[in-house]
């Protein structure tokens, strides 16, 4: 890519995806097109707990090379993620910094590599864009500059889709809780505040996330009967609720 309008088009394409996996797939696909010497590309993600995954790759060669770093605990993309930001490897066959990984990657047919960290602003993850070439000394300073610009656009796209998916998940969670509240209101004649309080107390007592409790209630159509001495049972009694025996008819069902 030689012109600013090319990167503008690239940014629009990446921002046009609205799910994380398609965004990751588009990033690795377009990276091969954007950086001329690149023959294979993969993304390595590190989450807030330090776990590493390879969620997207252009082919099995790129996927295997990235996974080898995770398995062996060494390699340029790991160093790019943790410390250095950008790493160039000219000849994997003679590379001494990561000798075990270098030999294993060279056996896959990869000869050189460029790893660039993706900084996902506002998100508890760090990623590395891993560009592989089938010939030694595949990447020069121009390629590094192009890859760095590409990485900034990719980072922005990944951050945006993470925010969008988070908003969608929050909206679904609120909707599910609302449906659960409505079920309790209809079945037991509760007010909106009482139904939410019942869900909240039951969630705390049973150590179940409120969202998961609401999902269970909506899917199963009821809440399991609390045991004796359960604070949730005290709340149910205070609200005038009584468990319905499976053998007894329930006019409110």
Residue 21 belongs to a domain with what CATH number?
A: 3.30.450.40
**Same domain (yes/no): 122, 204:** no
- For residue 252, give the nearest of 222, 230, 232 by alpha carbon: 222
In a domain, 248, yes or no: no
What is the rounded distance in angstroms from the CA atom of residue 166 to the CA atom of residue 233? Answer: 34
pTM flag (> 0.85): no
Phi/psi class of residue 132: alpha, beta or left (left: φ > 0; alpha: ψ in -120 to 50)? Answer: beta
What is the rounded distance in angstroms from the CA atom of residue 60 to the CA atom of residue 178? Answer: 45
Question: Taking the C-alpha atoms of 98, 100, 101 and 105 in order, what is their torsion angle to the nearest 10 degrees?
Answer: 120
**Same domain (yes/no): 144, 203:** no
**Same domain (yes/no): 162, 197:** no
Looking at the structure of the chain, the number of domains it has is: 2
- Where helices occur in the chain by DSSP H, the ranges are 4-15, 20-34, 60-72, 76-79, 99-107, 141-188, 192-205, 210-220, 231-238
**Same domain (yes/no): 148, 234:** no
- Per-residue burial over 16-32, b = 16 or more CB atoms within 10 Å of its CB, e = otherwise: ebeebeebbbbbbebbb
Task: Provide the pairing of β-strand 86-89 with 126-133.
Answer: unpaired
Q: At residue 251, does pLDDT exceed 70?
A: no
Task: Provide the pairing of β-strand 112-119 with 86-89.
Answer: antiparallel
**Same domain (yes/no): 223, 126:** no
In a domain, 197, yes or no: yes
**Same domain (yes/no): 211, 107:** no
CB atoms within 10 A of CB 49: 6
- Place 243 in a pLDDT band, splitting at 50, 70 and 90: very low
Per cent of the chain over pLDDT 70 is: 73
pLDDT of residue 252: 35
The phi, psi pair for 207, rounded to 5°, reads 55, 45
In a domain, 226, yes or no: yes
**Which residues have CB under 8 Å from 244's CB, separation 6+?**
250
- Place 56 in a pLDDT band, splitting at 50, 70 and 90: very high
- Place 228 in a pLDDT band, splitting at 50, 70 and 90: low
- Place 121 in a pLDDT band, splitting at 50, 70 and 90: low
pLDDT of residue 218: 79
**Same domain (yes/no): 28, 145:** yes
- Place 223 in a pLDDT band, splitting at 50, 70 and 90: low
Residue 229: which domain range?
189-238
């Amino acid at each position: 890519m030689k012109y600013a309008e090319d990167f503008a088009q690239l940014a629009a394409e990446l921002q046009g995806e609205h799910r994380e996996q398609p965004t990751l797939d588009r990033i690795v696909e377009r990276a091969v097109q954007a950086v001329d010497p690149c023959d294979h590309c993969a993304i390595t993600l590190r989450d807030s707990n330090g776990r590493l995954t390879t969620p997207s790759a252009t082919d099995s060669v790129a996927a295997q090379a990235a996974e080898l770093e995770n398995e062996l605990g060494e390699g340029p993309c790991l160093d790019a993620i943790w410390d250095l930001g950008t790493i160039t490897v000219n000849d994997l066959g003679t590379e001494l910094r990561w000798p075990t990984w270098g030999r294993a990657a060279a056996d896959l047919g990869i000869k050189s590599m460029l790893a660039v960290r993706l900084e996902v602003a506002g998100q508890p993850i760090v990623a590395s864009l891993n560009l592989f070439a089938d010939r030694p000394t595949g990447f020069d300073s121009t390629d590094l500059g192009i890859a760095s610009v590409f990485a900034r656009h990719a980072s922005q796209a990944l951050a945006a889709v993470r925010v969008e998916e988070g908003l969608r998940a929050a909206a679904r969670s609120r909707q599910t809780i609302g449906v659960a509240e409505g079920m309790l209101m209809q079945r037991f004649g509760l007010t909106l505040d009482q139904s939410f309080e019942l869900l909240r107390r039951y969630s705390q007592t049973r150590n179940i996330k409120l969202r998961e409790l609401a999902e269970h209630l909506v899917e199963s159509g009821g809440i399991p009967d609390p045991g004796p001495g359960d604070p949730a049972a005290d709340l149910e009694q205070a609200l005038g609720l009584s468990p319905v025996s499976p053998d007894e008819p329930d006019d409110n069902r």
